[in-house]
Amino acid sequence: MQVVPSLDIQNGRSRLVWWPGASSGVGTPTDRPEVIAVALAELGAPYVHVVDLDGARLGRPANLTAIGAIARAVAKPLQLAGGVDGPEQIEIAFAAGATRIVLPLWSVAEDHAKLAQCLRIAGDWLAIGLDARPASLHDYPWRQRAEPGLDELVVELGDLGVRRFVFSHARTAPEHELVASLARRVDAEVMVAGGVSSLHDLLLLRDGGVAGVILGEALFTGAISLYEALEAVG
């Protein structure tokens, strides 16, 4: 299983300060995304996940300079979420230096033609981001169909060519079990983003068949060490 660090970018800077030596007073804190990405890559990160918070608000990639700086600084893939809602935004993201994309479910939930366009551009490097809470589907205004079950929807998207899924809000044991069961049912890479706060959680997801976990705040607060997490799942 992969353990992937995540950076939240706002106004060109990391929303959280990176200072792994805070407890002992060594090292220098930084909010420069490219500096943090280099540190994470040196610890063994397989790639870097970036959330463009401004892009999510604006509906298009916004922190292009920061994305480009990260891409130039590390020889690792860069996965972008936030502000990438369709084919035009994917092209902008790739031009800036991203190599993988997380597309929100709502942008293609009932538009299979749009999904096909996105897949033509990004191929297997396109992931669909979903909320692991089944009740989340109640909030979407389904217009062309009855509300599907989460498992039904994931299988359907897999049949349409989606080979990667990123589940957010998987914080409880039932949600972990749901994601693990979906990972076993679909011929696709299934990842969990957030909601993991211990090595125990990581191992449970690994043993359930989840391909990777994206860690953000847990790394910045020191709740989980990236090095120890990589060793634990290795």
Q: Looking at the annotation, which residues are catalytic?
A: 8, 131
Give the whole-angstrom CA distance, residue 118 versus residue 124: 10
Q: Where are the beta strands (DSSP E) in 47-96?
A: 48-52, 78-81
Give the whole-angstrom CA distance, residue 20 versus residue 8: 17
Provide the sign of the torsion angle of the four alpha carbons 64, 68, 74, 75, taken in this order. Answer: positive
Share in percent of the chain as helix, strand, coil (round to 5): 45, 20, 35
CB 216 within 8 A of CB 166: no
CA angle 142, 146, 151 (to 5 degrees): 95
